[in-house]
């Protein structure tokens, strides 16, 4: 049995048909001349043979731990369900694939305060981090506290250097939705969001641009029970609209369920569109029209930028990724 033997590097090398030097280099993080596929094969064999505990200790002692931390703000709006949020879950899935494909390891942390990231990074001797959902001024404060590179998803801040910020084209996503609604003949349009800041407001402004007129805007509560009451108190007003754009798929699906409960036929009486194009869009009835952001592309960009920042510590920049509206049944009943 493997557990009864002391696993040696020569054993691993022999089973994989590799040199002991190659296996040793992978274990000790000296992988510049080792292919990603070979790194993966060695890591899988090390885990299979029970070498992982020794490997972990070795990695943590190196300057190159190959650990990438992903830190997400545990905002109260997630109500204890942060990692099940469709956008967060999708982002983690793509990041996990890309980080592992590049011979690294991913560690995830929920944090109330961005400064928890500094201790997290130091504790595990991380090579880099990806940060999601923190406030604008927090990123620069963290940059002043740590030396390792980090990439931000959807940050809204003045980049003073040594930070890479990967944004999506929020305004364009809203604009495409507005054009879609206008083409379908909608003239009474509502946008719902839980704030009037940055990403959500850009999506609203884009919606108005695409429509050619100003849509109404409702700022909805961040807690689910309060949103239910909010909609219930505005049932009459809701029925006046022919189309609604929710700035996230979660809010769109939640609103669709409410509308159906009060007897609104979707999309015959009202069209609904969301943003993110998460998996849930094709699981609901009617299927949800949504703005797709390329999570795989963004994850690739994040890992690429972390590598570049490690090689060039002063490198920084803001990067924009494209979006695309995916029309489905929730906005066009003729598609049934």
Residue 182: is it exposed, middle or buried by C-beta count within 10 angstroms (0-12/13-18/19+)?
middle
**118 and 212: one domain?**
no
**182 and 233: one domain?**
yes
> Last residue of some domain: 41, 61, 81?
61
> Last residue of some domain: 61, 79, 104?
61
Q: What is the pLDDT of residue 61?
A: 56
Rounded to the nearest integer, the mean pLDDT of the chain is: 91
Q: What is the pLDDT of residue 335?
A: 43
Q: What is the pLDDT of residue 2?
A: 39
Q: What is the pLDDT of residue 63?
A: 64
Quote the CA–CA distance of 305 and 164 in Å, as a whole number.
Answer: 7
Range of the domain at 209: 170-292+325-335
**194 and 300: one domain?**
no
**174 and 192: one domain?**
yes
> What is the separation of C-alpha 320 from the centre of its chain, rounded to a whole number of angstroms?
14
Q: What is the CATH number of the domain that holds 17?
A: 1.10.260.40
**331 and 198: one domain?**
yes
Q: What is the pLDDT of residue 336?
A: 37
User: How long, in residues, is the chain?
Assistant: 336
Q: What is the pLDDT of residue 305?
A: 97
Query: Which of these, 93, 125, 152, 107, lies nearest to 302 by C-alpha position?
Result: 152
> What is the separation of C-alpha 77 from the centre of its chain, rounded to a whole number of angstroms?
16
Q: What is the 3-state secondary structure (H, E, C) of the chain?
A: CHHHCCCCHHHHHHHHCCCHHHHHHHHCCCCCCCCHHHHHHHHHHHHHCCCHHHHHHHHHHCCCCCEEEEEEECCHHHCCCHHHCHHHHHHHHHHHHHHHHCCCEEEEEEECCCCHHHHHHHHCCCCEEEEECCCHHHHHHHHCCCCCCEEEECCCCCCCCCCEEEEECHHHHHHHHHHHHHHCCCCCEEEEECCCCHHHHHHHHHHHHHHCCCCEEEECCCCHHHHHHHHHHCHHHHCCCCEEEECCHHHHHHHHHHHHHCCCCCCCCCEEEEEECCHHHHCCCCCCEEEEECHHHHHHHHHHHHHHHHHCCCCCEEEEECEEEECCCCCCHHHC
Q: Which stretches of the chain score pLDDT less than 70?
A: 1-5, 52-63, 333-336
Domain count, the chain: 3
**302 and 164: one domain?**
yes
Provide CB contacts within 8 A for 113, sequence distance 6+. Answer: none
The separation between the first and the last C-alpha atoms of the chain, rounded to the nearest angstrom, is 58
**217 and 267: one domain?**
yes
**265 and 276: one domain?**
yes
**300 and 152: one domain?**
yes
> Last residue of some domain: 61, 77, 110?
61
**45 and 79: one domain?**
no
* φ and ψ of 268, to 5 deg: -60, -40
The residue to which tokens 């946008």 are assigned: 191
**162 and 302: one domain?**
yes
**48 and 120: one domain?**
no
Q: What is the CATH number of the domain that holds 220?
A: 3.40.50.2300
Q: What is the pLDDT of residues 169-178, one digit of tens each?
A: 999 999 999 9
């Amino acid at each position: 049995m493997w557990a009864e033997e002391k696993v040696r590097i020569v054993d691993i090398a022999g089973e994989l048909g590799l040199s002991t030097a190659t296996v040793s280099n992978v274990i000790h993080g000296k992988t510049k001349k080792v292919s990603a596929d070979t790194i993966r094969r060695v890591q899988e064999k090390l885990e299979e043979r029970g070498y992982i505990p020794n490997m972990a200790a070795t990695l943590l002692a190196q300057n190159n731990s190959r650990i990438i931390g992903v830190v997400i703000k545990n905002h109260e709006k997630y109500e204890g369900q942060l990692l099940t949020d469709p956008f967060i879950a999708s982002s983690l899935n793509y990041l996990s694939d890309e980080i592992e494909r590049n011979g690294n390891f991913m560690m995830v942390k929920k944090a109330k305060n961005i400064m928890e990231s500094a201790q997290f990074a130091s504790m595990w001797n991380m090579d880099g981090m990806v940060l999601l959902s923190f406030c604008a001024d927090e990123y620069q404060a963290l940059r002043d506290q740590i030396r390792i590179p980090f990439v931000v998803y959807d940050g809204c801040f003045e980049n003073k250097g040594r930070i890479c910020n990967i944004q999506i084209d929020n305004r364009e996503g809203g604009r495409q939705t507005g054009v879609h609604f206008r083409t379908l003949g909608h003239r009474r349009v509502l946008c719902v969001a839980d704030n009037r800041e940055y990403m959500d407001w850009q999506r609203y402004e884009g919606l108005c641009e695409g429509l050619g007129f100003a849509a109404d805007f409702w700022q909805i509560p961040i807690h689910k029970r309060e949103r239910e009451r909010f909609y219930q108190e505005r049932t009459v007003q809701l029925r006046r609209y022919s189309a609604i754009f929710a700035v996230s798929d979660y809010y769109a699906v939640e609103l669709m369920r409410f509308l159906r409960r009060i007897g609104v036929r979707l999309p015959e009486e009202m069209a609904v569109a969301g943003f993110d194009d998460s998996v849930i869009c094709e699981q609901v009835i009617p299927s949800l029209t949504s703005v797709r952001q390329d999570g795989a592309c963004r994850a690739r960009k994040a890992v690429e930028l972390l590598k570049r920042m490690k090689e060039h510590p002063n490198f920084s920049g803001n990067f924009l990724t494209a979006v695309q509206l995916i029309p489905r049944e929730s906005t066009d009943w003729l598609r049934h």
